[in-house]
Structure formats: C-alpha cells, structure tokens
Amino acid sequence: MTRLYLHIGLQKTGTSYLQNLCWSSVDELRGQGVTMVPEGRIETFWLALDVRQRIDAHDVPRVGRSVELLPEQLAAVTTPSALITHETLASASAAQISRLLEACAGHEVHVVVTARDIGRQVPSLWQEGLKAGRSDTLEEYVAELRGPDGRSGTVWRRLDLGGVLGRWAQAVPPERVHVVTVPGPNGPREALLERYCAVLGVDPGALDPDKAGPGNPGLGEAEAELLRRVNERVPDRYRRRVPYGEVGKRWFAMGILARAGSAPVRLGRAHEEWCRERAEESVRVIGELGCDIVGDVADLLPDSDVFEDTGGPDEAAVLEAATRALGAVLEERLEQRLARRAGATAAAQPGAAPTPRGVRRALGAVRRRLGRG
C-alpha cells in the first residue's frame, strides 16, 4: 500500500513555490521515497481539471480521462509514498472528492492543506482573479466576500479554510488531514518548506530552494490596476481559461507586469476585524475536527501590520506601469522580428541547412501567442 499525499492548496499559500521545487526535484524526492504523480506537471493540471469538472472544449481528450488513468499511475509507484499537488483540488465538492478518492482506493490517503492568514491571502487571491481575466476592484471583490451571499459563492470557496477542511475530513480521517501553516510576514522563510517536508517525511536539506524559481509572483498596486483596466477592454469571449491563461496570465501578467513591482497591494483597515473573525473561526474548526497541525495556528491570525489604507495607486504610477509594460512588449516583439529575419536570411543562403525543428517550433509558438501566422 502506497501512502498518498494529496496537497490540495489553498490558493496563494506558497503552493507555486512548493510545486516548482518538487517538480524540479523529482529525482531527489524519489531518493527520499516520494514519487510525483501523475508523470508531469501538465498531467497533474489535467487531473485537477477532470476532478473539478472544469474541462474546456479546447482541452485535448486525454484531460477527461485523467481520473480514470490515476489508479494505473498509482499502481506503478515503487516508492513508499506518492505526492499529488494542485491547489484547485481544495475547492472540490463532496461528490468530486469521493470520485477522486475512489480512484485512490487501496492507498493510505493523507490530505495536506497549506494555510495562510486571510489578511494577506485576500489581496493575493484578488490578483489571481485579475490574472484569470476578472476586472473588479479590490473593494468590489471584498464586498462580494463580505456580502450576504458571499459565503455561498465560488470566491469564498477558495478562501474558506474551515469549509475545505470540513469537506475533506468527511472523506479522510481528520488525523490524516495535515494543516501546514505559512509563517507570518516576519517569520523565517525556510519554515514553510521545513513544515511541508515534515509531513512528507522528506529531509528538506535534500532539496535546493533555488530550484523553485520565482513561483507565482504578485503584482504591485499600479500593475494590478493596469491589468484590471486592460481586462475591462478585453471581450468576454477571450477572458476564459483558454486562451486567457496562456496570454493574459502567463505572458502579460507574469511575464511582463511582474518584472517590476510598485507598492504591494494591501487590504484597508476597515476589513481587519472581519479578517480576524474569519481566521478565528478557522482555528476553531481545526480544533473541533482534530486535524494535524504542522506549524503554529497563530500564523493564521492576521497581524495588524498587513493592513494599510493606501487609497490605491495614483494615476502617475499606473501610467508609469503602462509605459514600462508597453516598452517590454515592444522590445520582445522586436527581438522576435529580428530572430525571424535572421532565420529567413539563413534559410535563403545556398546550401543552407533547414531550420532546426526546435527553432521552428519556438517561432510557431511565438506566432500563435501573438495571434499572427
């Protein structure tokens, strides 16, 4: 029997950092007795989409068979433990959890939930919404969360630590539900990795944190406001996972806007009491359920310093962010044009070798991304 760790999120709790590090350390983890499942990062994303029933018409047919293929993938694991990690799984419904666990039958399932104080998590999640094509302001986003219907909406479902634990603890013994707390803003940076590895039974010294890369970088106030305004101009038909995820999120938001950050996005002090009440409620649920705590539940209580009445970025800062972004876009486009011209010139030379397949593929990807053939 394989011990299977399901790291299900929550979103914006260091998941990208941990996933980047794990996927860049597959051999090191296997040497420590843990195999990553499925076989690659994209396949794991497909599994999460299949579990959550979020398959798009643009997805390849293999996506819809991901849960079906999971038992065979787990059966092929030769190490004592296996790890599946994707933050989308946290929001799974009871029926979706049941379907996933049926595919994991015969294995000892442990659920790993990384959790962070809501005062920092809310503005980070708002930014993720912008990276997915949303165009609401931070205040509108928080008003939705705090409104009469907020706790029944999809936005709160991503934040609701107590609700996530309640759903998963109904299907997995609470002692096998591990809550790993993210250190507060002044906590040691290495603590999250150490706590995570403690659950997996892995020596953190065997992993190189530098392999994690930048993770999923946040945006500054000005860059976030710029993206929000740009999204307002993008037709709704494009503000979907496909194609917005590739172009709007990974290329523009993460590749262009995140290169330079202005002041960090913070919640106003008017929301401090509400955040503390929600955090205290989560701490109570953890205790009532009897989940395993790795770290300190005090990390989940927001520090007063994370709130600030900034009033948002001024127009000059947004204009500066827009100018930097347009400059970066133009520079990238010029480099691509020069590369295409150089390739065409070389191919036109007598006796020139064919353009290498890898270069042709790269150029094709660039053309598709820019919407040009």
Closest to 100 measured CA to CA, from 6, 169, 166: 6
pLDDT for res 363: 44
Report percent pLDDT > 70 for the chain: 93
pLDDT for res 358: 47
pLDDT tens, residue by residue, 250-286: 999 999 998 767 889 999 999 999 999 999 999 999 9
Sign of CA dihedral 267, 269, 274, 279: positive
Give the domain ranges of the chain: 3-118+154-216+270-305
Using pLDDT thresholds of 50, 70 and 90, give the confidence band for residue 342. confident
Two tokens at 262? 């202005």
- Highest mean predicted confidence (pLDDT) among 122-126, 206-210, 367-371: 122-126
Inter-residue contact 81 to 201 (CB < 8 Å) = yes
pLDDT tens, residue by residue, 186-225: 888 899 999 999 999 999 999 988 888 877 788 999 999 9
Measured distance CA(145)–CA(121) in Å, rounded: 13
What is this structure's pTM? 0.88
Report percent pLDDT > 90 for the chain: 78
In this model, does residue 303 exceed pLDDT 90? yes
CATH number of 3-118+154-216+270-305: 3.40.50
Inter-residue contact 101 to 172 (CB < 8 Å) = yes
